[in-house]
């Protein structure tokens, strides 16, 4: 006799047997009892959560009555309950054939029920062909659409259906069902194994049953299902291997981390499975750090849970978040890399030395903390330890030079009176400082009275708002060169012939230049690095 897999043999047969979708089951049962059955339903949910099973149970409740009909509906071969795989029947012709056949009444049931699985695979044209029939179908026709990707179903189709969202099952719910299945199969299994299977199923009951099927097939007759057997059959890294990696990371031991990862792969653990298991472990550590060791969010039981709680003392939640992101990022990169092992090894070192490595992005943005300087006493002690007991003979401080006599004092430099000569000296003084030079290049000393009244001429009127706050700085340098306290006033030079512009034209051009400069990537980067603001833009007039 042909073997039937557990996922088919233990499929729910009635509303009361549905696991995890009790609210939907109750709603559909009440709709039948009250005579409020709609003409079209849309069942949405991830794979293996009971959409097709619920559709068959619903169809059986509508059309069933005899054991023969019930069995045929649950097998999917009843004449009045037509199951269509939209992935292989997705075109307009198939949709037209469905419409043509829908006018015929059912042979032995009350309704002709169409269960369209993976309905999102239908083409847009096929959806549009079904629109009218789904809005006003014959009295004897019911539609049940099932999909894992509701966003791909046309809104016009969704609006004609009653939608039910099937939730993913928890590891606890799946494990509880697997316990009853194991008893029904007379299989001995540790509760930790069944719970781990429930966790690995990722919310899918069908996946959980399929995994149990694989482990049962690998076990000998009468052999108890254990975690070691589970790891061997599914190719998962043993917890001890991941424990070794995590403990080395906790100790900032780069060498130990590399050796532990190498040992795991040497035992046949696939590289990406190791990374997946490592990300799962950091997720568990994050949950303990954020929610506490008794949280139900931690989907680990038994000794494994105790080990994770013990390891969590070495990690806080932000560190775990950072490490999960690193593992996921390197995992994606390694899949398309010609040297994936090098990337994985680099990841191991990066995880172990996280506290010693500055974040490059933070460093570039100026937000990284500055490296701590070595204390002078520590540096001196190290140097002393290297050169032994030899110490340099202290050099006596030099004797102070004799005071200069009044007659030998340097003469006071003569005062300059020519504005041009003074300004040349000023420009020479500031030439080494690019920031100052850019300011002084925009202006010129055109007049200096004996009493210190000075006229600073600005050649470009658009820079007035920028130069005015700098007048005191300009006056200070002029005073030091001229030998007289300067009181400056700013004068705007008249534009040369043919270059005069209306004030609003100058303003508009400047605003345009400022806007363009603000969008420049180098300017934006400079503003971020130095916490600066854009003050002015100088237009390059050279060809």
Interatomic CA distance for residues 173 and 183, integer angstroms: 16
**Structure token digits, residue 384:** 């002393």
- The pLDDT score that the predictor gives to residue 16 is 92
Q: What's the confidence (pLDDT) of residue 374?
A: 39
Query: Are the C-beta atoms of 143 and 111 separated by less than 8 Å?
Result: no
Listing DSSP states for 234-252 in one string gives HTPPPHHHHHHHHHHHHTT
Quick one: average pLDDT of 213-217? 92
Long-range contacts from 463-469, C-beta under 8 angstroms, 24+ separation: 463/536, 463/538, 464/490, 464/492, 465/536, 466/442, 466/535, 466/536, 467/439, 467/442, 467/443
C-alpha span between 125 and 154 (Å, rounded): 11
With contact defined as beta carbons under 8 Å apart, do 218 and 229 qualify?
Answer: yes
Q: How confident is the model at residue 391 (pLDDT cuts 50, 70, 90)?
A: very low
Provide long-range contacts, Cβ within 8 A and 24+ apart, for 527-531: 528/365, 528/366, 529/364, 529/365, 529/366, 530/366, 531/366
Q: Say yes or no: do domains 6-165 and 171-232 share a fold.
A: no
CA–CA dist 156, 141 (Å, integer):
19
How far is residue 302's CA from residue 277's CA, in Å, rounded to a whole number?
Answer: 18
Closest CA to 365 of 139, 147, 160, 527: 527
Q: Tens digit of pLDDT for each residue in 278-292?
A: 999 999 999 999 999
User: Between 437 and 103, whose confidence is greater?
Assistant: 103
Give the mean model confidence (pLDDT) for residues 423-442: 80
Per the model's pLDDT, the better-predicted residue between 49 and 300 turns out to be 49
**What integer is the mean pLDDT of 17-32?**
95
Q: What is the mean pLDDT of residues 78-88?
A: 92
Quote the pLDDT of residue 325: 93
User: What pLDDT does 378 receive?
Assistant: 38
- Confidence at residue 427, expressed as pLDDT on a 0 to 100 scale: 87
Mean pLDDT of 437-456: 82
| Tokens linked to 329 | 């990022």
Least Cα distance to 84 among 124, 116, 40, 118 occurs for: 116
Task: State if pTM tops 0.75.
Answer: no
Q: Which two tokens stand for residue 239?
A: 């917890």
pLDDT tier at 507 (50, 70, 90 boundaries)? low
Q: Distance between CA atoms of 131 and 152, rounded to whole angstroms?
A: 15
Give residue 364's pLDDT band: very low, low, confident or very high (50, 70, 90): very low
Mean pLDDT of 97-125: 92
**Domain spans of the chain, in order of start:** 6-165, 171-232, 239-362, 419-492
Using CA atoms, how far residue 453 sits from 182, 448, 479, 486, 490, in Å, is 102, 6, 11, 6, 11
Residues 6+ apart with CB under 8 A from 226: 190, 193
Question: Considering only CA atoms, which of 59, 50, 121, 61 is closest in space to residue 85?
Answer: 121
Higher-pLDDT residue of 179 and 465 is: 179
pLDDT the model gives residue 190 = 85
Whole-number pLDDT of residue 345:
95
Q: What distance in Å separates the CA atoms of residue 514 and residue 110, rounded to the nearest whole number?
A: 76
Mean pLDDT of 306-331: 91
Tell me the pLDDT band of 164, cut-offs 50, 70 and 90: very high
Residue 235: both structure tokens together: 């190719």
What was the pLDDT predicted at 357?
Answer: 61
The answer to whether 130 and 40 are in contact (CB under 8 A) is no
Q: According to CATH, what is the number of the domain 6-165?
A: 3.40.50.300
CA dist., res. 9 & res. 78, Å (int): 18
CATH number of 419-492: 3.30.300.180
Which tens digit of pLDDT belongs to each residue from 51-80? 999 999 999 999 977 889 999 999 988 999
What pLDDT score does 531 carry?
66
- Split at pLDDT 50, 70, 90, the class of 416 is low
Q: How far apart are CA 415 and CA 135, in angstroms?
A: 100
Q: What is the reported pLDDT for 392?
A: 47
Is the predicted pLDDT of residue 415 greater than 90, yes or no? no
CA 70 to CA 506: how far, in whole Å?
A: 86
Q: What is the pLDDT of residue 179?
A: 93
Which pLDDT belongs to residue 385?
A: 37
Name the β-bridge partners of 445. 456
Share of the chain above pLDDT 70, in %: 81
The domain defined by 171-232 carries CATH number 3.40.50.11030: no
Neighbour count for residue 265 (Cβ, 10 Å): 16
Two tokens, residue 78: 């009843």
pLDDT of residue 156: 92
**What CATH architecture does domain 239-362 belong to?**
Up-down Bundle (1.20)
The pLDDT of residue 366: 47
pLDDT in tens, 468-501: 788 888 888 888 888 888 888 888 876 655 444 4
Q: Is pLDDT above 90 for 34?
A: yes
* pLDDT(313) > 50: yes
Summary mean pLDDT of the chain: 82
- Per-residue pLDDT, 418: 81
Q: What own/partner pairs with CB < 8 Å and gap ≥ 24 does 331-338 have? A: 331/272, 331/275, 331/276, 331/279, 334/271, 334/272, 334/275, 335/272
CA distances from residue 76 to 81, 164, 296, 381 in whole angstroms, order as listed:
7, 21, 38, 84
pLDDT > 90: what percent of the chain?
46
Q: Which of 206, 39, 33, 183 is nearest to 111 (CA)?
A: 39
Report whether 124 contacts 29 (CB < 8 A). no
pLDDT value of residue 140: 94
DSSP state of 119: G
What is the average pLDDT across 364-388?
41
Q: Shortest CA distance to 73 belongs to which of 20, 112, 41?
A: 112
Confidence of residue 541 (pLDDT cuts 50, 70, 90): low
Q: Inform me whether the pLDDT recorded for 388 exceeds 70.
A: no
């Amino acid at each position: 006799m042909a073997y039937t897999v557990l996922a088919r043999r233990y499929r729910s047969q009635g509303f009361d047997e549905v696991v995890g979708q009790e609210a939907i089951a109750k709603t559909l049962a009440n709709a039948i009892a009250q005579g409020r059955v709609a003409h079209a339903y849309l069942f949405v949910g991830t794979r293996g959560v009971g959409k097709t099973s619920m559709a068959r149970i619903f169809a059986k409740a509508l059309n069933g009555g005899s054991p023969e009909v019930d069995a045929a509906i649950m097998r999917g071969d009843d004449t009045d309950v037509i199951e269509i795989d939209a992935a292989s029947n997705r075109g307009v012709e198939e949709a037209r054939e469905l419409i043509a056949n829908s006018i015929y009444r059912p042979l032995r049931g009350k309704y002709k029920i169409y269960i369209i699985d993976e309905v999102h695979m239908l083409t847009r044209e096929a959806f549009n062909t079904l629109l009218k029939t789904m809005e006003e179908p014959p009295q004897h026709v019911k539609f049940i659409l099932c999909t894992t990707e509701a966003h791909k179903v046309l809104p016009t189709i969704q609006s004609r259906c009653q939608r039910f969202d099937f939730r993913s099952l928890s590891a606890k719910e799946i494990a509880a069902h697997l316990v009853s299945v194991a008893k029904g199969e007379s299989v001995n299994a540790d509760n930790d194994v069944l719970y781990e299977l429930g966790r690995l199923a990722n919310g899918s009951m069908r996946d959980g049953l399929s995994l149990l099927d694989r482990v049962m097939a690998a076990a000998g007759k009468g052999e108890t299902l254990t975690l070691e057997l589970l790891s061997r059959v599914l190719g998962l890294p043993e917890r001890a291997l991941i424990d070794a990696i995590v403990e080395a990371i906790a100790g900032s031991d780069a060498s130990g981390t590399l050796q532990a990862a190498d040992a795991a792969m040497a035992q046949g653990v696939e590289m990406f499975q190791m990374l997946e298991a490592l990300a799962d472990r950091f997720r568990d550590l994050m949950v303990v750090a954020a929610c506490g060791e008794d949280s139900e969010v931690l989907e680990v039981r038994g000794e494994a849970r105790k080990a994770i709680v013990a390891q969590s003392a070495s990690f806080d939640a932000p560190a775990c978040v950072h490490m999960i992101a690193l593992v996921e990022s390197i995992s994606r990169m390694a899949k398309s890399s010609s040297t994936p092992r090098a990337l994985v090894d680099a990841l191991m070192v990066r995880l172990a030395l996280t506290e010693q490595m500055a974040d490059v992005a933070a460093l570039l943005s100026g937000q990284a903390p500055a490296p701590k300087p070595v204390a002078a006493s520590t540096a001196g002690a190290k140097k002393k330890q290297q050169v032994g007991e030899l110490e340099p003979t202290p050099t006596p401080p030099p004797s102070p030079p004799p005071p200069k006599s009044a007659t030998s004092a340097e003469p006071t430099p003569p005062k300059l009176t020519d504005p041009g000569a003074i300004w040349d000296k000023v420009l020479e003084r500031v030439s080494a400082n690019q920031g100052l030079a850019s300011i002084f290049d925009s202006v010129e000393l055109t007049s200096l009275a004996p009493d210190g009244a000075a006229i600073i001429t600005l050649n470009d009127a658009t820079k007035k708002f920028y130069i005015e706050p700098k007048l005191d700085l300009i006056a200070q340098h002029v005073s030091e060169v001229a030998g007289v306290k300067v009181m400056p006033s700013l004068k705007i030079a008249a534009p040369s012939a043919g270059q005069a512009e209306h004030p609003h034209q100058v303003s508009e051009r400047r605003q345009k230049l400022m806007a363009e400069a603000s969008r420049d990537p180098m300017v934006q980067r400079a503003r971020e690095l130095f916490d600066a603001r854009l003050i002015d833009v100088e237009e390059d007039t050279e060809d």
